[in-house]
Amino acid sequence: MTLPDGLSAFLMGASDFSERDAAGLRPDVAMIATPSTPATHRYAPRLLKALGYPATVVPVHWDNFELPLDEGAHRDPTIDLDGFIARIREASPGSRILLPEYATPYRF
């Protein structure tokens, strides 16, 4: 999706993808699903390479969505968010990693 100001964003709602379909998209911001299992081979490195190493990467789907948000997002204890962030940093060291806070606006 490209916004009126020219910023482009990519949302990956699941941790499996077709490299051919993602190749060449080159978003400024990539919101990518945090995998719940290591089933997809080299998921972060392959996806970030296909997307051209976006300037900003936002891990999504790492929270426990069964808890109310009145206290903010709670990490899902079954998801290795720290390991996923480390794999993003290793694969795309020039990318800014943004772990969003609930009800907080961000500018890019």
H-helix segments, 51-108? 81-91
pLDDT of residue 36: 87
What integer best gives the mean pLDDT of the chain? 90
pLDDT digits (tens, 9 = 90+) for 12-35: 888 778 888 888 899 999 999 999
pLDDT of residue 78: 92
pLDDT of residue 79: 93
Question: CA-to-CA distance for 43 and 68, rounded, in angstroms?
Answer: 29
Question: CA-to-CA distance for 39 and 74, rounded, in angstroms?
Answer: 24
- Percent of the chain with pLDDT strictly greater than 70: 100
Range 71-88 average pLDDT: 93
- The pLDDT of residue 46 is above 90: yes
Question: CA-to-CA distance for 51 and 29, rounded, in angstroms?
Answer: 10
Q: pTM of the full predicted structure?
A: 0.89
pLDDT of residue 71: 80
pLDDT of residue 92: 97
Looking at the chain, the number of H-run helices and the number of E-run strands are 3, 4
Where b means 16+ CB within 10 Å and e means fewer, 2-27 reads: eeeeeeebbebeebebeeeebeeeeb
